[in-house]
Structure 1
Amino acid sequence: MRNITDIFFDLDHTLWDFEKNSALTFQKILTESEVPVDFDRFLEIYVPINLEYWRLFREEKISKTELRYERLAKTFKALEFEASDELINHLAEQYIAHLSSFNHLFEYTLELLENLHGNYKLHIITNGFREVQNRKIKASGIYDYFEHIIDSESVHVKKPNPIIFNHALALASVSPENTLMIGDSFEADIQGALAVNMHAIHVDFDQKHEHSHCPIVRHLSEIEKIL
């Protein structure tokens, strides 16, 4: 890829190991709240439910409040565990409060950012909640690598809406042909970026995707070879 000056990263599932950190957070808050459910079974049910509710949230079909409550309520219902509204709301609040306490990054994240920093201007575009994402970025030690952190709450739209990408381009004062978006979501990150004429690299750790829309990497160390 030639003439790239600015690289935009997704955060969760791309640099920040969301599933691992989320699991550790639930282990902590379920234990502290003495919720007697099988933890492995809880995660088995919760993970796909959470992904589905994030899709609905991204498509503007549910609110942030509904997302935080309903994903837990549906999980407990599937577990046949009677959880009160009070407990669900408490766990939802505790989850957000403690999620950034765990900051496992994907392998090679720090090396990649260190190698790219100085040669490119680095930025983040995330659909996550502003207060949580900022804490994650700072606590994991990667904040200083990025010039701009664009979150969907600030722009009032979510990826793949072109508005958030165009806002990011304007903020960075860069033309789309000189930019690269790196992310794990084909719909939100890749299709969203390509729609506004940005270049893209699809991070696919689980090897679930095959397409010709842009390069696909299975490990972050492969990105520098493409650049």
Structure 2
Amino acid sequence: MLTAVLFDLDGTLLDRDESVKKFIHSQYDRLNRSVGHIPRETYIKRFIELDQRGYVWKDKVYQQLTEEFQITRLTWEDFLQDYLTNFKNHCVPFPNLIPTLEKLKSRNLRLGMITNGKGQFQLDNIKALGIEKYFDTILISEWEGIKKPDPEIFKRALHQLNVSAHQSIFVGDHPENDVKAAQNVGMKGVWKKDPQWDSIEADYIVDDLAELLLF
């Protein structure tokens, strides 16, 4: 019997690729006095390349950008602060996010979230999506001192929800950090399809969050 559904954030609930595009377009306009000598598409394309879908923290990204493009009006720290302050204003949810969470809650399921990343930054994004209230526990790797795929962070979430692994599913877009890591602690692993990956071994595969309501 299913008692809990746990989620990843980026690429699962938050459409990070679209959010990044919105943010970086906005940053280019906001800081145009400092980056206007760089063609818009060049700046955006290079940011996305260096970002590696969020797996490179932005201090490294902005250090590289300011050096490559010889940006002098602002420091890389200024760009990083702009990212920390403004990214949350450009968060794009995946379709059916809130209706799905509402229906899962209406079934008296416990909901949890485990996300790698910086604590306050990730929490700001969760709040920007308007979904914090649906979750019984939220674990963010910086604040937990461990990150996926470490089994301990999954066990900690299950303990906080007071549910067993075999009665829980974990929904995420990453084959190793989400699906396999969850399976390794006895949970069912649900892969939220991501075009970056080919065929993934998962207990279930979904294209749209609303498909979780069929379980």
Which TM-score applies when normalising by structure 1?
A: 0.84
Q: Partner amino acid for 1:24?
A: K
Query: Counterpart of 2:111 in 1: which secondary structure?
Result: strand
User: Which range moved further: 191-200 or 203-212?
Assistant: 203-212
Residue 16 (structure 2) aligns with? 18
Residue 177 (structure 1) aligns with? 166
Runs of 4 or more off by more than 4 Å in structure 1?
none
Alignment partners' CA distance in 2, 1:25 and 1:82 = 21
Identity %: 26
Alignment partners' CA distance in 2, 1:106 and 1:158 = 23
Pair 31,157 (structure 1): closer, same or farther in 2 beyond 3 Å: same
Pair 159,75 (structure 1): closer, same or farther in 2 beyond 3 Å: same
Residues 26-175 of structure 1 mapped to structure 2, 5 A cutoff: 26-34=24-32, 35-36=35-36, 37-51=38-52, 54=55, 67-75=57-65, 80-84=68-72, 86-119=74-107, 120-175=109-164
Cα displacement (A) at 1:86: 4.8
1:39-63 superposed Cα distances (whole Å, 9 cap, x missing partner): 3333333224222772xx6xxxxxx
User: Which range moved further: 109-118 or 203-212?
Assistant: 203-212
8 Å CA contact 1:207, 1:218 repeated in 2: no
User: Which range moved further: 31-40 or 89-98?
Assistant: 31-40
1:12-59 superposed Cα distances (whole Å, 9 cap, x missing partner): 1111121222222222222222212233333333224222772xx6xx
Query: Counterpart of 1:122 in 2: which secondary structure?
Result: strand
Q: Partner amino acid for 1:71?
A: V
Alignment partners' CA distance in 2, 1:25 and 1:212 = 33
User: May I ask how many residue pairs the two structures share in their alignment?
Assistant: 211
8 Å CA contact 1:125, 1:149 repeated in 2: yes
Cα displacement (A) at 1:209: 2.4
Pair 118,98 (structure 1): closer, same or farther in 2 beyond 3 Å: same
Q: Partner amino acid for 2:13?
A: L
8 Å CA contact 1:73, 1:83 repeated in 2: no
Pair 191,48 (structure 1): closer, same or farther in 2 beyond 3 Å: farther
Gaps of at least 5 residues in structure 1 are 58-66
